[in-house]
Amino acid sequence: MAGPNEAEREDGNDMGGTQTVGGGNFGGVARRWKGILAGVVVLAVIYAKGYALAGADADSWHFWAADMNPLPWLGAIMLIAVYWTRYDRYKATGGDPTLWSGVRVWCFVAGVLVALALWESPLNGFVGRSMTLYTVKLMGEFELAAPLIVAGIPFGLIDATRSKGGFWGLVRFLHNPGVTAVALAIVLALWSMTAQMAVGLRDAFMFGILPGIYLVLGMMVWIQSLRCLPTFPNFSNHLRKGIYVWAMETTMMGMGAMWFWSAMRGMNPSTSQPLVWGLSRITDIHMAGATMMALSVPTMCLVFWHFWQWIATVVGVSENDDYEKVTSR
């Protein structure tokens, strides 16, 4: 018969932390408080210097108390804290490390920090003076933050019984390839990115939600491609997924190529002068195009992976055993 201490270990609560109402505890976060505190201080210094370079009065009390929006970063800190707590609980109960490894944890943390650095940071003070930096802000969410966050989510622990409720209903709807394809067509083709940038620079609400739209769409593309949620609507094979992602990335790279070779100063939505680094408006457009094409590389690698998996399936040597038979002859 298990004693009290053994029962606590079986419940995953014997980690020396403070229990929460939801059954978790923040022992793991408490053990890491020195690193977290140092990280917060470093971020505060970087933010102060960054906003000062952007022209904000970062030394004033009013800036930190009223002008800077702390909610996104507070939300990110809470999200990472909850994630770490769940991970520590999973380790304490002897969970399979292959389903939720330390690499996943750091991918998730890195993805959240990249997403927030692009979404709410001193970068916002410069995007009005650089189309290139605005491209980094939006495409970075889609191409960098999204795959890192998806790589950090332990989808193998999300079974059919847990994917219920309103939130998962919304995810199931967005996961439908038809819905995602329509959303991507609107964002990438029907509503050009230059027009989005121009609206974002004029309207604070659109400026705030555009990065989130790119982040969510990027996550949906990677979740669909990697078949993270096998019971949700999806394409049936790698060939269709590869064509789908290829069409999306080709549209992005085509837009980048158009910017790179453009001679139209009016395409640059920047509203402030002078532009950063003393660039001309044409040079800024060319750099934005090159940046967009460069940031498309991670997802284009996903396209090649899909086509490779499809070819391997057609040839019939995708399994290790088949490969060993062929090489042993």
Share of the chain above pLDDT 70, in %: 73
Torsion of CA 205, 147, 290, 188, to 10 degrees: -50
Q: Please calculate the CA angle 208-211-213 and round it to the nearest 5 degrees.
A: 105
pTM of the predicted model, to two decimals?
0.78
The whole-number average pLDDT for the span 133-150 is 93
pLDDT of residue 11: 40
Better-predicted residue by pLDDT, 53 or 254: 254
- Of 104, 68, 59, give the one whose Cα is nearest residue 83: 104
Better-predicted residue by pLDDT, 325 or 36: 36
The whole-number average pLDDT for the span 230-254 is 88
pLDDT of residue 144: 93
Amino acid, single-letter form, for residue 127: V
User: What count of Cα atoms within 13 Å lies in the side-chain half-sphere of residue 98?
Assistant: 0
Better-predicted residue by pLDDT, 50 or 156: 156
- Cβ-count burial of 89 within 10 angstroms (0-12 exposed, 13-18 middle, 19+ buried)? buried
In this predicted structure, the answer to whether residue 80 has a pLDDT above a threshold of 50 is: yes
pLDDT of residue 25: 47
Confidence tier at 147 by pLDDT (50, 70, 90): very high
In this predicted structure, the answer to whether residue 305 has a pLDDT above a threshold of 70 is: yes
Better-predicted residue by pLDDT, 142 or 70: 142
pLDDT mean across residues, the chain: 78
Better-predicted residue by pLDDT, 22 or 1: 1
Q: Per-residue pLDDT tens for 21-74?
A: 334 444 555 566 666 677 767 777 777 777 777 666 656 655 555 556 667 777
Contact between residue 149 and residue 112 where contact means Cβ atoms under 8 Å apart: yes
